[in-house]
Amino acid sequence: MSREPRVDTRTWRPAPDGVVVVDKPAGWTSHDVVGKIRYLARTRKVGHAGTLDPMATGVLVVGVGRATRLLTYVVGTSKEYVATVRLGETTVTDDAEGDRVATGDVTGIDREAVLREVTTLTGEILQVPTAVSAVKVDGVRAYARVRAGEDVVLEPRRVTVSRFDVLDLRAATTRDGVPVVDVDVEVTCSSGTYVRALARDLGAALGCGGHLTRLRRTRVGGFGLPGEGADLGAATSLDELERRTEAEGVLPTIPLAQAAAAVLPVRRLDEEEARGIVHGQAVSPTGQPGPHAALAPDGGLVAVVEDARRHGSTLARPVVVLASPDAHLSDTTS
């Protein structure tokens, strides 16, 4: 697929600050997608929330302008995937993009056996990330160390797999005649969970090895695919985003306030509180733990606030201020 610009961006207006939910195509890296959105948005200030491997497709949340400051909160939300695990074959990357390193006997592996081991991989678990991952080891990405020929062993991390459902199970054969079992699954998990590692660990538990052959992310927080019950703007293909940008003269983005409300609880402000927060002042507490999207009376996003106790009192204090102190709130928070 060509990634070269096809139309003249000089006819487009810079995109307003906000979020774009992309349905990432197979074969593209997350960085490729960011590059395409930079071109469509006419700005370099673009980032993404949570890497998808080139093989994977589905929801990739991209921030434009000030929305890049919200991405850390998007990254921390739960995620949903549909995937296919191939049992009986192990690869160096734990997915279909890596070379095969071993095969295993899948004789006797049935739905009951798979369900039994899936149960052990559900709930709060300790997971060792796949070695070919973006996890940093002494400041260097693990995948870079592996490609350089190093043996990389990562420390286990605590993650939560709240749902690991088996949809279908069928016998199959690889191109070179190796018998395998393909298992279609749905996974809901916390940030930092590697579905590739779930495939690897399921195969290991069954004694035959395993890897991922298909991965599609269907939801990130309140952002999802069309028809998947997304709370806000469903993911759109890059081709459709380019068509709309060319037709409308500007890349469509989800406004900051709507995007923040899709991943954070909301704290409503009055006019005085809104203007105070812009200048770094605290307001009455939310009464709940964790960050909140602080919205002005007109519905615009002013800041992200979080309750904190200082000098004997608990107040909601700004963590990230999105509105400018030298402009009218209505001009800066939409």
| Residues designated as active site | 53
Q: What type of residue sits at position 173?
A: T
> How far, in Å, CA of 24 to CA of 53, rounded?
10
In the Cβ-directed half-sphere of 230, how many Cα atoms lie within 13 Å? 21
- Asked if 126 and 201 touch (Cβ cutoff 8 Å), the reply is no
> How far, in Å, CA of 114 to CA of 88, rounded?
13
> How far, in Å, CA of 165 to CA of 181, rounded?
16
In the Cβ-directed half-sphere of 150, how many Cα atoms lie within 13 Å? 14
Cα–Cα separations (whole angstroms), residue 206 to 114, 120, 180, 210, 290: 8, 11, 13, 9, 39
Report residue 298: phi and psi, to 5°.
-85, 0
**Separation of first and last alpha carbons in the chain:** 35
Q: Is the dihedral of CA 213, 219, 221, 224 positive or negative?
A: positive
> How far, in Å, CA of 19 to CA of 201, rounded?
35
Q: Supply angle C-alpha 291, 293, 299, rounded to 5.
A: 170
- List, in order, residues 6 or more apart from 240 with CB less than 8 Å away: none
